Amino acid sequence: MMLRLYCKGHHHSVGGLCADCQELSEYAMTRLTHCKFGDSKPTCGKCTVHCYKPEMRRRIIEIMRYSGPKMLFAHPLAAIRHLIDGRKNAN
């Protein structure tokens, strides 16, 4: 969802992701499927293992900074779930 918001806002894509954002999405999904923490993975900021290449990590951070504040308005239920999950993993 965050990636779609970012892509629409920066690359003006309609109905899907541009090639750059699609590449980043596939990269992120590959990293998640190979994560050693599995379903108990902490949020990336609190993770002890940084599995993203520095350039990809920079791109993800840029997307989160742009889309994070907009999530509450665009997808309120998903944003609230994300906040709750963050609190659970912090404890």
**Are the C-beta atoms of residues 3 and 78 closer than 8 Å to each other?**
no
Tokens of 89: 């993993």
CA atoms within 13 A on the CB side of 2: 18
Residues 20-78 have pLDDT tens digits of 999 999 999 999 888 888 877 777 667 778 788 999 999 999 998 998 888 888 888 88
Task: Give pLDDT, residue 24.
Answer: 94
Taking the CA atoms of the chain, what radius of gyration do you get in angstroms? 14
Would the CA dihedral through 1, 63, 14, 26 be positive or negative?
negative
| Residue given tokens 């404890």 in the structure block | 91
